[in-house]
């Protein structure tokens, strides 16, 4: 008998998609009416027509630097930069500050950050005592997972980070059976416990985040009796995707619309191709439409063997912002995309920067569906027009470039 936190995890995929597309125009209209920032971003958009992924893909992508810029510009009147629809008081439980600083609101709804499904999939159950080692200082990390634990019916020990000796004492005396925090700190705790002869054998399960969890480290935890799962969340969006017992990618959480786009653009890539994660969240308190996370991933085919039916992604695969300084000039992924759009023959492009310090060499490697005479020369002219730099052009067969999400590859030697 399969167990889920709620029945929505196992919905028919077509039903889920239909419900998401029904909710999408309402969300866009709500964002336009209640969020001053999104009203500007979505100016001129007819919300009633945004009823498909194709229509959604035509809307602009908002990225984290825009949150920062708008917040800096409106601090005197609105520290949230016009993105939050909440008013201070009973509807806003906390205000957090992520590095920048970027300020994030927390609404008062149950499991506001939607982490309960991830914790349930990792084996957390009612009555568990959770040792929560995410930071309780300014950032929302600890509260994201505490809210999910409470939604399940767990009790939480707010351990935070640091003070390893005191944390070990609490574990040996309180005997928690679950852990939330980064995988690196869990390893520190287990190693320190071994050195000190402390009994932390009560810890049997963990949900980690904030860092990658390589298979070798997962195996290291398993050899010490701890079954560790990973999750993917951001301070802006909350929990995005989570691992299940199948260990085959991460399952997208409910009430999110996920797209994978070519870095530097808002253009969706083909299924299976690596690109930037862009998320639209059906959160009326913070209605982010097409929010670019800056993280790379790719879609996985088919449903999760655990029985959860939502979209799966491979997990975190690096950062999408590959802006690189070349001969004193910054070159952005969006500029590479601009060059590629000028030529219908170009299927995919990758700018490779090579050479040694102070002797940069730039080559645009291009997958082309056809190679009419002079194509490379015309692309070279576009490179100079867009970047103000000279670069070589290498024409390749379709499928020749790696599927790793890189638009700009820095292959220079810095010795």
To the nearest 5 percent, what fractions of the chain are helix, strand and coil?
30, 25, 45
Helices (H), 83-136: 116-121
Query: How many other β-carbons are positioned within 10 Å of the β-carbon of residue 202?
Result: 15
Query: How many other β-carbons are positioned within 10 Å of the β-carbon of residue 137?
Result: 12
Tokens of 261: 């786009």
Architecture in CATH of 324-410: 2-Layer Sandwich (3.30)
Q: pLDDT-based confidence at 1, cuts 50/70/90?
A: very low
| Tens-digit pLDDT profile for residues 118-162 | 999 999 999 999 999 999 999 999 999 999 999 999 999 999 998
- According to CATH, where is 3.40.50.12780 located in the chain? 8-319
Quick check: 363 and 355 in contact, CB under 8 A? no
Prior bond to 101 cis, omega within 30? Answer: yes
- Give the three-state DSSP class for 170: helix
| Tens-digit pLDDT profile for residues 49-82 | 999 999 999 999 999 889 999 999 999 999 999 9
Q: Are strands 227-234 and 238-243 parallel, antiparallel or unpaired?
A: antiparallel
Fold for the domain defined by 8-319? Rossmann fold (3.40.50)
Lowest mean pLDDT among 98-112, 263-277, 327-341: 327-341
CA–CA separation, 183 and 191 (whole Å): 12
- According to CATH, where is 3.30.300.30 located in the chain? 324-410
Helix or strand holding residue 90 (H, E): none
CA–CA separation, 265 and 263 (whole Å): 5
> What is the average per-residue pLDDT within 230-253?
96
| Tens-digit pLDDT profile for residues 35-53 | 999 999 999 999 999 999 9
Question: If you write DSSP's letter for every residue of 28-61 in order, what string do you get?
Answer: HHHHHHH-HHHHHHTTT--GGG--SHHHHTTSPP
């Amino acid at each position: 008998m399969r167990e889920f936190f709620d029945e929505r995890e196992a919905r028919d995929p077509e039903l889920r998609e239909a419900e998401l597309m029904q909710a999408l125009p309402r969300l866009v209209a709500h964002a336009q009416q209640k969020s001053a920032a999104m009203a500007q971003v979505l100016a001129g958009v007819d919300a009633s027509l945004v009823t498909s992924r194709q229509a959604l893909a035509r809307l602009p992508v908002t990225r984290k630097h825009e949150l920062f810029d708008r917040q800096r510009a409106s601090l005197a009147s609105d520290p949230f930069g016009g993105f939050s629809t909440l008013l201070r008081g009973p509807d806003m439980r906390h205000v957090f500050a992520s590095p920048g600083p970027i300020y994030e609101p927390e609404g008062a709804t149950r499991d506001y950050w939607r982490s309960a499904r991830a914790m349930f999939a990792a084996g957390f159950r009612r009555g568990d005592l959770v040792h929560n080692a995410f930071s309780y200082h300014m950032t929302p990390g600890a509260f994201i997972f505490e809210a999910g634990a409470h939604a399940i019916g767990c009790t939480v020990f707010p351990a935070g980070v640091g003070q390893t000796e005191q944390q070990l004492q609490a574990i040996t005396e309180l005997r928690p059976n679950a852990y939330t925090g980064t995988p690196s700190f869990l390893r520190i705790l287990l190693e320190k416990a071994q050195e000190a002869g402390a009994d932390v054998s009560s810890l049997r399960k963990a949900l980690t985040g904030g860092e990658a969890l390589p298979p070798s480290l997962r195996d290291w935890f398993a050899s010490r009796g701890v079954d560790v799962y990973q999750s993917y969340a951001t301070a802006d969006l909350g929990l995005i995707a989570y691992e299940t017992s199948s260990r085959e990618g991460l399952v997208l959480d409910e009430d999110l619309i996920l797209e994978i786009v070519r870095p530097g653009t808002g253009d969706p890539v083909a299924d299976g191709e690596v690109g930037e994660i862009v998320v639209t969240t059906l959160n009326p308190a913070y209605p982010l439409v097409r929010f670019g996370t800056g993280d790379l991933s790719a879609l996985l085919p088919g449903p999760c063997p655990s029985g959860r039916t939502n979209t799966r992604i491979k997990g975190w695969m690096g950062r999408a912002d590959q802006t690189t300084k070349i001969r004193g000039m910054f070159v952005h992924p969006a500029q590479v995309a601009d060059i590629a759009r000028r030529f219908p023959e170009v299927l995919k492009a990758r700018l490779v920067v090579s050479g040694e310090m102070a002797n940069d060499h730039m080559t645009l490697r291009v997958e082309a569906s056809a190679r009419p005479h002079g194509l490379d020369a015309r692309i070279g002219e576009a490179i100079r027009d867009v970047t103000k730099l000279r670069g070589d052009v290498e024409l390749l067969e379709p499928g020749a470039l790696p599927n790793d999400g890189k638009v700009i590859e820095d292959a220079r030697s810095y010795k």
